[in-house]
């Protein structure tokens, strides 16, 4: 506690000595200063925007954009509006965020566990990974993936063929595109039913364990249900899902679905970089669990795998979640570096192209920053909810 003076009892003497008066004066001065600065900035901005003929309202959002975007998840063309360009950018940012978070979590946890491995060479390799990647700027890593790794890949005609009809070349990653025919939605429904059935079984198994002490092979049941039910439906309906296999035609591929190199570079760079921080968070979390916990679990006769899954990781997660949230937020914010390699994310499309074309600097920047603020608040709200659920319940 440092607010000592403000709490002190108002004593006699001059008014300047009175802490309450002084506090009020500080605050009034601050408010006056802010009002003065904001008013000055606003009037200056108004005159400047008029002089430069910049739009002062949000009407520009309804105008036709006139530019194309090569990677969109929603219908968009150059006759779409600026508002639609905004949505394209936002969805592209969210796409990178979601894929990046999944990928970076997998890599980060793997490397973090490897750092603690009793296997010397595995632990050292993980250390090299962490110390190399977190000490090199993300932008440099993105440029490296894009300009030094993906761009020099062979042209489509000499594509690197990967198993499963996937091709890698300097125009990106091309893979079979699933085509959903008649009755395909039944397969999707089968997946949902399988998951529901597995959840029901899990609940039943845990009740049975509590009352009788007998355990059930929950993992195997999940696996069996998830594989067999959709597969049976798929064949029973006469294979409604087909794949559009990419074929080389002339100088490029026809059919299939294409992921552009910009997206690959961005997701790869972001995930690999952020994972080096997550690895350290995971390591710190696991090390924060007292060794006595492991020993007690060993005394109960649990194996190494079950000790990790049932004793160490759940306790480590309490330490891991808050900094992990920060890393997820960093990843989403850092996806704005897309602008350097030309991936059409929110910043590149909206704060770049749209701002340049319309000149509506104040509005565009305000919207862009607001979007990131909302994403930040939303992500931390979800993680806080999860954090509360797993937090230590103290009496």
Point out which residues bind other proteins (CB under 8 A): 1-7, 23, 26-27, 30-31, 34, 40-41, 44-45, 48-49, 117-122, 125, 131-132, 134-140, 143-144, 147-148, 152, 333-334, 336-337, 339-340, 347, 351, 355, 361-362, 365, 368-369, 372-373, 376-377
Closer to other proteins at the Cβ: 30 or 200?
A: 30
Closer to other proteins at the Cβ: 121 or 392?
A: 121
Shortest Cβ 308–other proteins spacing (Å): 14
Alpha carbon distance 19, 9 (integer Å) = 8
Shortest Cβ 155–other proteins spacing (Å): 16
**Which of 205, 223, 224, 204 has its CA nearest to residue 214?**
205
User: DSSP class of residue 95?
Assistant: H
Closer to other proteins at the Cβ: 45 or 241?
A: 45
Closer to other proteins at the Cβ: 282 or 332?
A: 332
Shortest Cβ 234–other proteins spacing (Å): 35
Closer to other proteins at the Cβ: 230 or 345?
A: 345
Alpha carbon distance 68, 72 (integer Å) = 10
Shortest Cβ 203–other proteins spacing (Å): 33
Shortest Cβ 373–other proteins spacing (Å): 4
**Which of 261, 229, 52, 63 has its CA nearest to residue 144?**
261
Q: Is 122 left (phi over 0), alpha (psi -120 to 50) or beta?
A: alpha
**Which of 336, 271, 270 has its CA nearest to residue 92?**
336
Shortest Cβ 71–other proteins spacing (Å): 19
Write the burial class of residue 226 (CB in 10 Å: 0-12 exposed, 13-18 middle, 19+ buried): middle
> How many Cβ atoms are within 10 Å of 308's Cβ, its own excluded?
17
Q: What's the token pair of residue 46?
A: 């108004």
Shortest Cβ 268–other proteins spacing (Å): 15
Alpha carbon distance 129, 205 (integer Å) = 41
Closer to other proteins at the Cβ: 34 or 200?
A: 34
Closer to other proteins at the Cβ: 5 or 393?
A: 5
Alpha carbon distance 97, 85 (integer Å) = 18
Q: What's the token pair of residue 173?
A: 């990653």
């Amino acid at each position: 506690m440092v607010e000592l003076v403000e709490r002190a009892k108002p004593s006699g003497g001059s008014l300047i000595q009175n802490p309450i008066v002084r506090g009020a004066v500080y605050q009034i001065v601050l408010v006056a200063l802010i009002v003065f600065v904001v008013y000055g900035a606003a009037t200056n901005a108004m005159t400047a925007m008029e002089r430069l003929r910049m739009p002062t309202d949000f009407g520009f959002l309804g105008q036709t954009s006139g530019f194309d975007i090569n990677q969109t998840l929603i219908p968009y063309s150059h006759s779409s509006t600026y508002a639609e360009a905004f949505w394209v950018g936002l969805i592209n940012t969210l796409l990178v965020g979601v894929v990046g978070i999944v990928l970076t979590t997998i890599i980060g946890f793997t490397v973090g566990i490897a750092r603690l491995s009793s296997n010397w060479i595995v632990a050292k390799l993980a250390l090299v990974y962490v110390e190399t990647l977190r000490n090199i700027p993300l932008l440099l890593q993105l440029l490296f993936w894009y300009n030094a790794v993906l761009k020099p890949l062979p042209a489509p005609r000499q594509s690197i063929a990967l198993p499963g009809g996937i091709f890698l070349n300097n125009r990106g990653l091309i893979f079979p595109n699933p085509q959903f025919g008649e009755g395909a939605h039944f397969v999707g429904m089968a997946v949902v039913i399988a998951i529901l059935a597995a959840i029901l079984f899990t609940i039943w198994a845990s009740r049975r364990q509590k009352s009788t002490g007998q355990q059930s092979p929950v993992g195997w049941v999940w696996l069996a249900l998830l594989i067999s039910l959709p597969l049976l439906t798929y064949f029973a309906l006469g294979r409604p899902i087909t794949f559009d296999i990419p074929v080389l035609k002339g100088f490029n591929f026809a059919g299939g679905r294409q992921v552009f190199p910009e997206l690959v570079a961005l997701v790869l760079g972001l995930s690999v970089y952020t994972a080096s921080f997550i690895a350290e968070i995971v390591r710190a979390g696991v090390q924060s669990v007292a060794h006595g916990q492991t020993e007690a679990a060993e005394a109960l006769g649990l194996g190494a795998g079950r000790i990790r899954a049932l004793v160490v990781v759940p306790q480590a997660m309490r330490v891991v979640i808050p900094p992990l949230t920060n890393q997820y937020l960093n990843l989403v914010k850092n996806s704005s570096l897309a602008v350097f390699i030309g991936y059409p994310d929110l910043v590149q499309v909206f704060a770049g192209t749209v701002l340049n074309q319309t000149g509506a600097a104040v509005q565009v920047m305000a919207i862009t920053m607001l979007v990131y603020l909302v994403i930040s608040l939303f992500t931390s709200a979800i993680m806080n909810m999860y954090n509360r659920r797993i937090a230590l319940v103290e009496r």
